[in-house]
Structure 1
Amino acid sequence: MLRLVLCGLTALSLSGCIEAAAPSSAPSADGMATKLKPGSSENDAFLTFGPESGFERNPDNWDQSCLSYAYGPGDAPKYVHALFENGVLIRSSDGHDGLCTFAQPTSAPEI
């Protein structure tokens, strides 16, 4: 069982938080993701970015969730993606073109 968990965590760390946006949407370093610190909770993220943040739970692993927060101009917003495991922030990045999701697009860009 431990081996299965370790394999799953390794696969997760390699795949990143999958996003629904086009594969050409590479994240940038806008600094919005730095509002979350390593070890932050999901509640910390909601307090930081507000209740209008998008939130999705991984249907294959209910211990994982991804939060999306839109910022920038309304006609072309960018998104912060924050990946949580057991309610604790694993990693976050910003500058994404779309919401983070666990749906399976043709490619899986890094978070």
Structure 2
Amino acid sequence: MLRLVLSSVAMLSLAGCMQGAAPGADAPKSDGVARKLSKGVSPSEAAVALGPDAGFERNPANWDEACVSYNYGTTEAPKYVHAVFVNDALTRATDGHFEICSYSTST
């Protein structure tokens, strides 16, 4: 029984990796746009799925990590997908953000 509980907790923790908030972001209300991306895709593949990026920032504490923002909202009400890449492979993506991602506001 304990193994079942521990394995369930581990699976739920891993499932949350793609839904974790990007740097500097409050927990957004998901619109489902980030689901177009799969873990491990490259920035080029993400651009095919979501269009050109609207913002790019390297993590000053880890130069192998970058946060890329993709706009899917309107001009009047922009919304962004925040996609975090490590060594050019997607590690997590969230949507519903009202600003481009930035490491300068993260804690």
Fold match by TM threshold 0.5? yes
Residue 89 in structure 1 maps to residue 90 in structure 2 = yes
TM-score (norm 1): 0.68
2:9 aligned residue: none
Stretch of structure 1 that moved more, 95-104 or 40-49: 40-49
1:41 aligned residue: 42
Alpha carbon RMSD of aligned pairs, Å?
A: 2.2
1:4 aligned residue: none
Secondary structure at 2:35 match in 1:
helix
Residues of 1 paired with 2:32 and 2:60: CA distance?
A: 29
AA aligned opposite 1:95: G
Residues of 2 paired with 1:74 and 1:88: CA distance?
A: 29
TM-score (norm 2): 0.70
Name stretches of at least 5 consecutive residues in structure 1 with no aligned partner.
Answer: 1-12
1:10 aligned residue: none
Residues of 2 paired with 1:51 and 1:96: CA distance?
A: 17
The number of residues matched between the two structures is 89
Secondary structure at 1:102 match in 2:
coil
Deviation at 1:33, TM superposition (A): 0.4
1:16-71 CA distance string (max 9 Å, x none): 5323x6xxx53122111011111111221122223343211112211000110111
Name stretches of at least 5 consecutive residues in structure 2 with no aligned partner.
Answer: 1-16
| Larger RCO (CA within 8 A; separation ≥ 6) | 1
Q: Which has the larger radius of gyration?
A: 2
Contact residue 53 and residue 68 of structure 2 kept, 8 A:
no
1:27 aligned residue: 28
Seen in structure 2, the aligned counterparts of structure 1 residues 69 and 59 have a Cα distance that, compared at 3 Å, is same
Residues of 2 paired with 1:39 and 1:89: CA distance?
A: 5
